[in-house]
Amino acid sequence: MSPQRTPLFTFRFSALCLLMLLAYCNISIFYSLYTYLEGLGIAQQWCGPIISSSSLATIFSFLFVTPRLTERTAPKAVFAGIVLLIACGLAYLLLRDTLGLLLLRLVNGAGIALLTAAAMTLLVGEIPPERSGQAFGFYSVAMLLPYSIVPAVFDHLGGLLPNAAYGYALMSLALAPAALVNLALLRHRKAQDAARHRRAEASPARGVGFAAMLESVRTPSIGLLLLLNSVYYLNFSALFFLSKSLFADRGLGGVGLFFSIQTGLMLATRLAATRLFDEVSKPLLILWCYALTALGFAMLWTTHGQAMVVATALVLGLGMGVGPPSLNALMFSLSGPQMKAVNSNLMVMALQGGSFLGPILGGMAVGLLGYPGFLAVGLAANCGGMWLSLLFQRRGWTGQAA
């Protein structure tokens, strides 16, 4: 190992990963929101809009907040996001009507945008360029881990709580330690101000501005990479929300086992292959992701037994596991110093867009074409992702120095 290798797990990088972990705990806790809204007597036609309004608010807030954030303003935005999310968590104990819950979800989405966009702005300033794949590998683990833990924990705690709103309130209070982490980061930065002059160009005194962000999106490599990221999360969210009904339509059980295997393998892949994310061409890793995900959709097409359920979960876990670290690391590598934070936040906005559209478009595909048609559309989307990955490789958009 080269002695010149820049350390990755500094205090600041580790603290920011912890901040992301706590933020995504406050997103994954809402796995039960649809059932909770039905229990309150909310009309069924309003349940979907109430749930998805948070993602819409997050997307629009990202557009407004991202161009204005710098490393100097980000800690204040983190504090603002924490305050909003704690207030929203506690408000679930009070609000039970449709309009109140809709407004609450909109504010919740704005809080998520403030916290995650500001944390990402701070995070990119801590990533050694030669270890961006590793950095985003561990960062994506911090995002994914809550989805494999929080629902299981609160399913077991359900009988001890009056209703799900108490779970939402309790989880929001977990952000109180996040405020202390942010305070420690602020003090640590002030203590190291003299050593941070080397990052001055990556941390402009003012935000880059909305026009510069739009110009970045119009750059072919950046725009296509945002599209690739959206397609990944569109597939992931459509599969997540529609698999239970797909399995029921096929007379299959074990959807919980399916997701446990898939998510567990995604986490294991990201932890075991962190070095690979920097040593192998990132477009080729993205090609691997889309190729195995396409194979997984094709296997689901013919899945009618438990053995195939397990096999498909293994293939999807191995494929989807390498996606986000490679996609985010490639965006980091392709971005100029002043645009790294903005473009990384645009990737999070693309994530939110894909996650919002996945269940909607997937549901439309099922309604028009049935489950085989839905899987065929997913297979076609992944083939498009494979083609774009090859395009990146052919055009030299690999993020590696010439």
pLDDT digits (tens, 9 = 90+) for 312-369: 999 999 999 999 999 999 999 999 888 998 999 999 999 988 888 888 888 888 889 9
Number of domains observed in the structure of the chain: 2
pLDDT of 206:
62
pLDDT digits (tens, 9 = 90+) for 137-149: 999 899 888 888 8
The CATH number for 181's domain is 1.20.1250.20
Q: Do 271 and 136 fall within a single domain?
A: no
Q: Do 45 and 77 fall within a single domain?
A: yes
Name every residue whose Cβ is closer than 8 Å to that of residue 180 and which is 6 or more positions away in sequence: none
Residue 7: phi, psi to the nearest 5? -60, 140
Tell me which of 187, 221, 237 is where a domain ends.
187
pLDDT digits (tens, 9 = 90+) for 282-301: 999 999 999 999 999 999 98
pLDDT of 191:
63
Q: 80: pLDDT confidence band, cut at 50, 70 and 90?
A: very high
pLDDT of 218:
92
The reply to whether the predicted model has a pTM over 0.95 is no
* Angle, CA 398 vertex, CA 395 and CA 400 arms, to 5°: 125
**Distance separating alpha carbons of residues 71 and 203, to the nearest angstrom:** 6
Domain that holds residue 83: 9-187
Q: Do 279 and 391 fall within a single domain?
A: yes
Is residue 4 a part of any domain in this protein?
no
pLDDT of 202:
46
Provide Rg for the chain, Cα atoms: 21
Q: Do 144 and 291 fall within a single domain?
A: no
Is residue 370 a part of any domain in this protein?
yes
Q: 243: pLDDT confidence band, cut at 50, 70 and 90?
A: confident
Q: 190: pLDDT confidence band, cut at 50, 70 and 90?
A: low
Q: Which 3 state secondary structure label does DSSP give 212?
A: helix
pLDDT of 129:
84
Structure tokens at 363: 């549901």
Is residue 337 a part of any domain in this protein?
yes
What integer is the mean pLDDT of 165-169?
94
**Model confidence at 86: pLDDT above 80:** yes
Is residue 298 a part of any domain in this protein?
yes
Q: Which 3 state secondary structure label does DSSP give 275?
A: coil
